[in-house]
Amino acid sequence: MAPKLEKALTIRGYLLTEDLLQLGQTKGGAQRIIVPLSTGFIRGADFEANVLPSGSDWLSLDATTGTGHLDVRINARSEEGDMIYAHYTGIIKMDAIAQKILAGKPGVKTTKPEDHYFVSTPVFEVSSEKLKWMEQSVFVSHGHFHIDDDGKPAVAWDVYKVVSQ
């Protein structure tokens, strides 16, 4: 029987598109784009942690296929002081909307997960015993773009725990 997916978390990370670094073509031929994150949250059924302004996505873009290879690392802290480190790799197909958002262009709207091929496999390290289940599970996530009323762009992830029984 195939494993099932159980909604476990929501992650939102706000993009600092004005501080985005485009290194252009690097070794191996891909374009390197570094997208810093400012704030956000990791939210589960019984906790919420605020994303600290220390994370980024080190995106490797294959311009010939429009495929972006994600390498995201974020840190978060709950009000109780619980620390979470998240590292997720994955794929985004760089469609017109994604390109406009990363370019910091105005007029973009919140999208839905089904609007993009935007998937990742997050792995977590935690400081709290109550969150250790995050270190002992496999997750997959489906992303989309969230645009606040003030135009501030974020990446939003619906994170699912893989359940084998």
Of 64, 58, 65, whose CA–CA distance to 23 is shortest?
58
For the chain, give the mean pLDDT: 94
pLDDT of residue 10: 98
- Residue-wise DSSP of 133-158: GGTTS-EEEEEEEEE-TT--EEEEEE
- Based on the number of CB atoms within 10 Å of its own CB, is 23 exposed (0-12), middle (13-18) or buried (19 or more)? exposed
**How many domains does the chain fold into?**
1
pLDDT band at 20 (very low <50, low <70, confident <90, very high): confident
Whose tokens are 């709290």? That residue is 128
The neighbouring-strand residues paired with 100 are none
Q: Residue 115 sits in a domain of what CATH number?
A: 2.40.160.20
pLDDT of residue 49: 98
Residue range(s) defining the domain that contains residue 118: 4-163
pLDDT, tens digit, 9 for 90 and up, residues 58-104: 999 998 899 999 999 999 999 999 999 999 999 999 998 998 988 88
Cα radius of gyration (the chain): 16
